[in-house]
Structure 1
Amino acid sequence: MALNVGTDKKAKLLVAAIDFGTTYSGYAFSFKHEYQADPAKVSVNGTWFAGSMALVSMKAPTVVLFNEKKEFQSFGYEAENEYSELALDHEHEKYYFFKRFKMYLHDKKIVRQLEVQDDRGRKLPGMKVFAAVINFLMNHLLTALKKRGTLVDIKDIHWVLTVPAIWVDSAKQFMRESAGEAKIDGKNLSISLEPEAASLYCQLIPTDKINGSEGCQFQVASPGSKYMVIDLGGGTADITVHERQADGGLRELHKATGGAWGGTKVDEEFYQLIIKIIGAPAFQKFCRDHTSDYLDLQRELEVKKRIITPKTKGKVTLKVPVSLGETYKTEMEESVEDALKESPLNGKISWLPDKLRIDAEVFKGLFKMCSEKIVEHILSLLKFPEIKDTKNFLMVGGFSESEMMQDAIMKALPNRNVIIPDEAGLTVLKGAVIFGHRPVAITSRCSRYTYGINISPPFDPALHSADRKVNVGNMERCRDVFKKYIQEGDVVQVGEPRSGKHITLAPHQREMQLNIYASPKREPTYVDEDDSEYLGRVIVELPDSDERIRVEVTMVFGETELTVQAQELTTLKKFSSFFDFL
């Protein structure tokens, strides 16, 4: 998969961004002339309606339905509704229903053949599922533009796809290739890091469009200001620290960090609460045999998550399907009410046939695990010298709209400015459009890893372990030494090249392969150390030659994706080369 980094993207008529989230996804766009007149003017697709219950959003659930032939059927609320209807007719078992599958890419090692599981444990190729969502959103945008009388050829669109900053390079490439499967030309595609996109948009927000700590002064847009971006999504918390430059650009002061502490953790805590009462077997049987009711329970929980606040008192009432209690009674031959009498939750939860009444403090406790993890992580970052005097904290992402999360972070940062823009869940999406118009707005980044390749230098007993000695061409060499191209924590200017010279092992060698490794250490010695990871390879295609060819390989860091160039040093001819992290 060649990385096409074309300069013609800047000349496109339209920038369209797809925010592919764990729980919700959507798209936004703006024309070049609109951006030039008002950079903050970004169009977001209207509203997506759930079709049942009081749930409306500017983004749609990231769920996708495939039919029994493994063909794309529907996406979003439509997929949920269709699958729910199929379940009522007991036809759903023939279909494939995928949700929250983005978290598969949160794992460290991603392969091109990655498979994802549907809600019944059956698998399809991950790239097929990801591509289906991207393709749907792409076509939805094109149809929306057509309806308003604006005909734009897909070739005239610069597409931007968002990814978490904490993702590894193989996950970013997986998304890029998925977009390719969805018929988006790689030359017209950019990858935007989610917290950076949000940061760009927040530079443009007027002061009357923010909320935050009492007495908070909106200083994010001031040159020289330093601030932490806390991007809380459905799956992950993604945290970076930026400094605003005099030219309007952003400098990253610390490498992106975070973890799987998104809003879905609250869902998991809720279902564990249910399991404490009725047990895992009964809950699993309910999910399996009453799929439509389970989807309704999920939507009910989503509504309650949004409206709960630290000030909520008394009881929180959720509608629960009657089938949940009936399933337990059939399995255990006793009522849920009887089960509650034996539970430590007795008195804190009451179960009616179609309602669950939970003590407000118990329900608020569902947020405790992820809020504590996020706060603990933020406080640990503030111990670093380059961050400790940070006064401004920008909360973005859908989960940042939760007053429970806002309260937890404000209490942890009592003498600092915690800023929450209006519609925090749309800041990544709108910022990705800004990034498409102005990708050089991020001027430098901090490397999350030490990147390098494996080499075999002449063996030096003072430097190298004896068990690594090998004989190559009658010369003693040391195998698998880590040759650094960039070190962990280094500040790298966007587009900054790092070069290394290499020579082919033999004449007539038509290809040079350089294996790429990453290590969290600043000074790794060998590529096969426990905490070093093989990322992929750089392939350099070479001409046929009677001589061994010397090649200078230049890796370009600082971009959202690593790129590579290669040049043969005798004729100075450049050759195609690319990263393959999958």
Structure 2
Amino acid sequence: MNSKGDKLLVAAIDFGTTYSGYAFVFKHEDFSKINANIVWAGGSLMSLKCPTCVLFDEKKQFHSFGYEAEDKYSDLANDNEHQKWYYFHRFKMSLHKKEIKRDVEIPDDKGLKMPANKVFGAAIRFLKTHLLNTLASRGTGVAEKDIHWVLTVPAIWSDAAKQFMRETAVNEADIDSGSLTIALEPEAASLFCQLLPSDKFSGSGRLTANKYMILDLGGGTADITVHEKQADGSLRELHEPTGGAWGGTKVDEAFHQMLIKIIGAKTFKKFCDSQKADHVDLLRELEAKKRTIAPGSDNKITVKMPVSLTSLYEKDSGETIADAIKETSFKDKMIWAADKVRIEANLFKGLFKECTDGVTRCVRELLQKPEVKDVDTFLMVGGFSESPMMQAAIRDAFPNAKIIIPADAGLVVLKGAVVFGREPMKIASRIAKYTYGINISPPFDSTLYPQEKRVVVGGKERCKDVFKKYIQKGESIKIGERRSGKHVSLKADQKEMLLKIYASAAKDPKFITDPGCEYMGRLIVKLPEAQDIFRVNVDMMFGQTELLVEAEEETSKQKFTSYFDFL
């Protein structure tokens, strides 16, 4: 079975900042039969996902993932045997808005580094293996070759980050490249919500609007996309994805900063380094509180605090936590005694401010765009969308909007990725995030080009660094749409043609040296030896979740195909 469409089963891996999981459905079943793993368990939380945590031993060999990794690392820390182990959690954000290379390394919670592809790869491999074992235990008879795999990524990620995830899944988790599809998280959610009946939504009821904004609020990012439903049921993207690092982990960071103002950065770091089990418990406690605090509540919030943190501070400072609080702006807003801290509701709600301000500001800016200004329906998905604080912030900022929240919003991306794997053409078009083109050297024309760009190649005057545009930033591109161009060899003895691909944030760059232009990768076309001048036809395939380039040499008809190399 070579074609993805011929596979017996579609399996999706939703790789999240805080939690990850998988789901699957057989080709012959309808989407109401989507299966998600139901045996994850740990701490005080039960979920169809498990924590995105990976543990490696002293030899950098994979040990465990998820709750098992959390618990094992906590046990090691209790015995002070964790120093040489590698523990990675919430590491997905290491790919957000950073320059990504294949050999990039990321630090664990102690600052020890490992190659990022090994860490991400171990997580993907674990989820893949767990899914295969689940299928085997159920006696399905499905082999790995029978599966079409789908891996989710944020839509706002760079092309390099998306490619990094594909290569890692293929090279480190041994997923066949031809059987793998990359799905954009808000798109997956949008597709799944088209299938839900009205009783599966809270807020303003079922998703019936033709135009709507998807607010995919996860642990790390807020990923915002706008869709329009077409007459045939497919979805058209109206604006390029936007968003930022306003996920639920920002609330944890704000809570940590509040603690640092009380006990100091040195003591807090010492606590995180020496009391791993207690720190894990504190994060789990915060996760539960984030999901339950209501915006209209005036009741104080009780957070269970590790006794070890109190003891550590009082031992180092010689004063009590109560005395420390008196010296801060929190003195009348919290009471910290033994293993509990009682926090005034407004102070705890303030921990959400960076997230709520970031998301609402981004939505307001988006609504100023001509193609989006008439959108009045918001679809909130992702685990952080289950937070009453986030829901209230959106309702208060946009009182005239219709707010729709599906049941189990944290699972919508995961299940939607399965839908996308079965019906990728349901996404009819996407908006180009950049202007893409190829570096060419046309004949030099002094009326068009500056003198400093003049070069002599093969005895002829040419202009270097010219940006030949294939697609323009902001254009709506149909799925699978091809943009074609012809390229001519420059020298008679040329053995190959190097097609250098560039992207620009500008709509109409003239040269690859213009500000905002970045080298994206290349495709090498081998040339035959029968003639002096060779012509190569180039097609760029846009609109997919990944960009593809195909070149054909006219004489030999030999074709060269490659995904853009952004790494």
Q: TM-score range by the shorter chain?
A: over 0.9
Q: Map of 1:241-390 to 2, 5 A cutoff?
A: 241-390=226-375
SS in 2 for 1:347: coil
Alignment correspondent of 2:38 = 46
* Structure-2 change in CA distance of 1:539 and 1:352 (3 Å): farther
Alignment correspondent of 1:3 = none
User: Retained in 2: the 8 A contact 1:507–1:545?
Assistant: no
Alignment correspondent of 1:575 = 560
Q: Aligned letter for 1:311? A: G
Q: Aligned letter for 2:508? A: E
TM score, norm. by length of structure 1: 0.94
* Structure-2 change in CA distance of 1:93 and 1:374 (3 Å): same
Alignment correspondent of 2:122 = 132
Q: Aligned letter for 1:62? A: T
- Aligned counterparts of 1:510 and 1:363: Cα–Cα separation in 2: 66
- Tell me, yes or no, if structure 1 residue 73 matches structure 2 residue 63: yes
* Structure-2 change in CA distance of 1:76 and 1:445 (3 Å): same
- Tell me, yes or no, if structure 1 residue 115 matches structure 2 residue 108: no
Question: 1:108 Cα deviation (Å)?
Answer: 4.1
User: Retained in 1: the 8 A contact 2:76–2:82?
Assistant: yes
Q: Aligned letter for 1:424? A: A
- Tell me, yes or no, if structure 1 residue 194 matches structure 2 residue 189: no
Question: 1:512 Cα deviation (Å)?
Answer: 2.4
SS in 2 for 1:33: coil
Q: Aligned letter for 2:206? A: F
- Tell me, yes or no, if structure 1 residue 143 matches structure 2 residue 143: no
SS in 1 for 2:20: strand
Q: Aligned letter for 2:424? A: P
The RMSD of aligned alpha carbons is 1.6
Question: 1:217 Cα deviation (Å)?
Answer: 4.9
Alignment correspondent of 2:5 = 10
User: Retained in 2: the 8 A contact 1:451–1:517?
Assistant: yes
> When the two structures are aligned, how many residues end up with a matched partner?
566
SS in 2 for 1:517: strand
User: Retained in 2: the 8 A contact 1:541–1:576?
Assistant: no
Question: 1:438 Cα deviation (Å)?
Answer: 0.8
- Aligned counterparts of 1:335 and 1:64: Cα–Cα separation in 2: 36
Question: 1:548 Cα deviation (Å)?
Answer: 3.2
- Aligned counterparts of 2:316 and 2:287: Cα–Cα separation in 1: 28
User: Retained in 2: the 8 A contact 1:22–1:234?
Assistant: yes
Q: Aligned letter for 2:128? A: M
- CA offsets 1:293-333 (integer angstroms, 9 cap, x no match): 11111111111111111022231111111111222223222
SS in 2 for 1:200: helix
- Aligned counterparts of 1:28 and 1:94: Cα–Cα separation in 2: 34
* Structure-2 change in CA distance of 1:390 and 1:332 (3 Å): same
Alignment correspondent of 2:197 = 206
TM score, norm. by length of structure 2: 0.97
- Aligned counterparts of 2:564 and 2:168: Cα–Cα separation in 1: 16
SS in 2 for 1:356: strand
Alignment correspondent of 1:408 = 393
- List runs of 5+ in structure 2 lacking aligned partners: none
- CA offsets 1:109-157 (integer angstroms, 9 cap, x no match): 2111111110010111111111111110011011111112212110000
SS in 2 for 1:393: strand
Q: Aligned letter for 1:203? A: Q
Alignment correspondent of 1:98 = 88
SS in 2 for 1:92: coil
Q: Aligned letter for 1:457? A: P
Q: Aligned letter for 1:270? A: F
SS in 1 for 2:23: strand
- Aligned counterparts of 1:43 and 1:308: Cα–Cα separation in 2: 30
User: Retained in 1: the 8 A contact 2:457–2:491?
Assistant: no
* Structure-2 change in CA distance of 1:420 and 1:577 (3 Å): closer
With 177-186 and 320-329 compared, the bigger mean Cα shift is at 320-329
Question: Quick one: which of 198, 202, 206 aligns to 1:218?
Answer: 206
Question: 1:574 Cα deviation (Å)?
Answer: 2.4
- Aligned counterparts of 1:76 and 1:110: Cα–Cα separation in 2: 25
Q: Aligned letter for 1:579? A: F
Alignment correspondent of 2:420 = 435
* Structure-2 change in CA distance of 1:217 and 1:512 (3 Å): same
With 100-109 and 115-124 compared, the bigger mean Cα shift is at 100-109
Q: Aligned letter for 2:28? A: H
Identity %: 59
Alignment correspondent of 1:478 = 463
Question: 1:39 Cα deviation (Å)?
Answer: 2.5
SS in 2 for 1:190: strand
